[in-house]
Amino acid sequence: MVSYSFVSFGFGSGFLALVVFFILQWLQIPAGSLVDWLVGIASFWWLLAVVTIPWNIYFEAEETKAEAVISRQKKIPVDAQQLAYVAKVARFGLLLAIALHVFSALGLYGLAAWGISPVGYVTGGAMLLLTVLRPAVRAYQFIARRLMSIRKQIQYPREDVVELRHRVVTLETGMKNLQTTTERNTQTHQEEWHSLRRDLAKMRAALEQLEATNEAAHRQLAREATTAIAQLSEDSQVLNHVREIIHFWKQA
């Protein structure tokens, strides 16, 4: 894949080259024609694309094939159709890279041979040189990655990784089930708590009503007792008057 850094580097380098050319022209320092600089900048952009895109495709496909071979050795299933597609991509990337290098070198040499710009000789030679240098550098990176991958496999075998992944999936499933059960229990407890609060409110209202009724009954009893006491007092006075009258009649 062509990253944004690759594109920005290409355009930034081209813009910087044009700035340098105009500064040299302003200082009246011989620096060749504008056509030579434009051809050089365009050749540089094309060179970046040729040495990056097809070779990256080829070596990424080769790394994928190597990983597939290791997976098969470890009895890990690999889709045969996908592996065949990766092999086709690898062959296509290699042929495309070599063809672009050769035809680009011929095209740049033609620009120089036809007198358009002598820069074509330099860029054409660089293109042919990079036909060997670029895959050599990428092959070194590929070997370094393979060695690192082998070391990681020695430290962490794929069987252990697969087993660990299976355990992680099992733990995640258990955690989800536990979370679901907890949420259900929480909802049930909340419903029970709300029901208990409603019952408590009803009992409190009934208690308040009972207290009010009890207080009213006590007041009624107090009034009745007061009335009875008053009645007894009146009856006692009447009896006293009767007793005095009887006593008077006895004396008379």
Reading the chain (252 residues) residue by residue, the pLDDT tens digits are 444 454 455 455 555 655 555 565 566 666 555 555 565 666 667 777 777 788 888 888 888 887 787 777 767 777 778 878 888 888 888 888 888 777 777 776 676 666 555 555 666 566 666 666 777 777 787 788 778 877 776 655 555 556 677 788 888 888 888 888 888 777 887 888 888 888 888 888 888 888 888 888 788 887 877 887 777 777 677 677 667 777 677 666
d(CA 155, CA 132): 35
Q: pTM above 0.85?
A: no
Amino acid residing at 219: R
Question: What is the distance in angstroms between the CA of the first residue and the CA of the last residue of the chain?
Answer: 146
Say what the pLDDT of residue 215 is: 83
Cβ-in-10-Å burial (0-12, 13-18, 19+) of 218 comes to: exposed
d(CA 95, CA 138): 16
d(CA 136, CA 132): 6
DSSP code of residue 79: -
Say what the pLDDT of residue 6 is: 47
d(CA 57, CA 134): 13
Tokens for 1, please give them.
Answer: 């894949």
Say what the pLDDT of residue 10 is: 47
Say what the pLDDT of residue 124 is: 59
What are the residues whose beta carbons fall under 8 Å from the beta carbon of 158, sequence distance 6 or more? 70, 71, 74, 76
d(CA 58, CA 131): 14
